[in-house]
Amino acid sequence: MGFFMSVKNIQSILGFITSVLIGLGVVSQASAQAIIPRAPDVAATSYVLLDAKTGHIIVEENADEPL
């Protein structure tokens, strides 16, 4: 009987840990979506938005179109 109880306890602990990890995954995914804003609505045929410090392109629309 003692062996069965310890297996049951281990299963309960593993189930709890799995639930916590799944919950953390859902929370982190929701917060990641909140960080990324949608593209701006501008009255232009093309635009490029750059990070001033790094020079990385944040968002672009028809960036190769000549002006």
The secondary structure of the chain, three-state, reads CHHHHHHHHHHHHHHHHHHHHHHHHHHHHHHHHHHCCCCCCCCCCCEEEECCCCCCEEEEECCCCCC
Q: Output the pTM of the full model.
A: 0.40
17 and 28, same domain (yes or no): yes
Range of the domain at 58: 38-67
pLDDT of residue 63: 87
Structure tokens at 49: 């938005």
pLDDT of residue 43: 86
Per-residue pLDDT of the chain (67 residues; tens, 9 = 90+): 555 668 888 888 888 888 888 877 766 665 555 566 777 788 888 888 898 999 999 888 888 888 7
32 and 59, same domain (yes or no): no
26 and 44, same domain (yes or no): no
Backbone angles phi, psi at 3, to 5 degrees: -65, -45
Total number of domains in the chain: 2
User: What residues does 48 pair with on adjacent strands?
Assistant: 60
